[in-house]
Structure 1
Amino acid sequence: MFTIGDFASLGRVSVRMLRHYDSIGLLPPAAVDPHSGYRYYTADQLGRLNRVIALKDLGLTLAQVRAILDDAVDLVELRGMLRLRRAQLEAQLAADTARLSSVEARLHMIETEGRMTSQDVVIKKIPPIRVAELSEVARSYDGADIGPVLTPLYPELFRRLETAGVNPAGPALAWYDRAEDGDGVVVHAGVGIEEGLAAAGDVAVVELPAITAATTIHHGSMDTADRSLQVLARWIEENDWRPDGYARELYVKYWPEEADKGVTELQLPVRRV
Structure 2
Amino acid sequence: MKPEFIDPKTNYRYYTLEQLPRLTRILAFKDMGLSLEQISEWVNRDLSIDQLRKMLYSKQEELSEQIEQSTLQLRNIEARLLQIEQEGKPSPYEVILKNVAPYSIVSIREIIPTIHDMVSYRCRMFNDLYLWLTKNRIQVNQELVLYHAREFVDHNFDIETAVIIDHDYYSDDITAESKNISINNLPREAVVASLIHSGSFMEVGYALSELFKWITLHGFSPIGPTRELHLFGRENNHDDYNSIVVELQIPVLKNK
- TM-score category by the smaller chain? 0.5 to 0.7
Q: CA deviation at 1:250?
A: 0.4
1:204 match: 182
Q: Partner residue of 2:77?
A: none
Identify the match of residue 157 of structure 1 among 129, 141, 165: 129
Aligned length: 155
**Is 1:239 the counterpart of 2:218 in the alignment?**
yes
Q: Secondary structure at the match of 2:139?
A: coil
In structure 1, the partner of 2:204 is: 225
Instruction: Name the amino acid aligned to 2:99.
Output: K
Residue equivalent to 2:160: 188
Aligned pairs (5 A) from 1:79-90: none
SS at match of 1:232: helix
What amino acid sits opposite 1:129 in the alignment?
Y
Structure 1 position 195, deviation (Å): 2.0
2:51 is matched with: none
Q: Is residue 2:101 matched to residue 1:127?
A: yes
Task: Identify the residue that residue 9 of structure 1 maps to in structure 2.
Answer: none
**Pair 1:243–1:160, CA change in 2 (3 A):** same
Query: Residue 264 of structure 1: CA displacement?
Result: 0.4
Give the distance between the partners of 1:176 and 1:239, measured in 2 at CA: 22
Matching residue of 1:172: 143
Contact 1:161 1:201 in 2 (8 A): no
Q: Taking CA–CA contacts closer than 8 Å with sequence separation of 6 or more, which of the two structures ends up with the larger relative contact order?
A: 2
Asked whether the 8 Å contact 1:138–1:186 carries over to 2, the reply is yes
2:248 aligned to 266, 270, 273, which one? 266
1:249, CA displacement in angstroms? 0.5
Using the TM superposition, give the Cα deviation of residue 159 of structure 1 relative to its aligned residue in structure 2, in angstroms: 1.4
1:213 maps onto 2:192 in alignment: yes
Q: The residue matched to 2:242 in structure 1 has which SS?
A: helix
CA distance in 2 between partners of 1:243 and 1:160 (Å): 32
User: Where in structure 1 do 4 or more consecutive aligned residues deviate above 6 Å?
Assistant: 113-116
For 1:137-148, what aligned pairs fall within 5 Å after superposition? 137-139=111-113, 143-148=115-120
Quick check: which has more Rg, 1 or 2? 1
How far residue 247 of structure 1 moved from its aligned partner, in angstroms, is 1.4
Q: Does 1:256 align with 2:210?
A: no
Q: C-alpha distance in 1, partners of 2:125/2:101?
A: 24
* Contact 2:201–2:243 (Cα < 8 Å) also in 1: no
Residue type matched to 2:164 in 1?
A: G
Query: Offset of 1:220 from its aligned partner?
Result: 2.4
- Aligned partners of 1:245, 1:192: CA distance in 2, in Å? 18
Distance 1:174 1:226, change over 3 A: same
- Indicate if the aligned counterparts of 1:218 and 1:225 stay in contact, CA closer than 8 A: yes
Residues 116, 231 of structure 1: 8 Å contact kept: no
| 2:113 partner amino acid | R
Which ranges of structure 2 fall in alignment gaps of 5 or more residues?
Answer: 1-86
Distance 1:136 1:237 in 2: 28
Q: Using the alignment, how far apart are the partners of 1:258 and 1:130 within structure 2?
A: 29
Shift of 1:201: 4.8
Structure 1 residues 173 and 248: alpha-carbon distance in aligned structure 2, compared to 1, 3 A threshold: same
TM-score (norm 1): 0.50
Contact residue 176 and residue 248 of structure 1 kept, 8 A:
yes
Q: Secondary structure at the match of 1:150?
A: helix
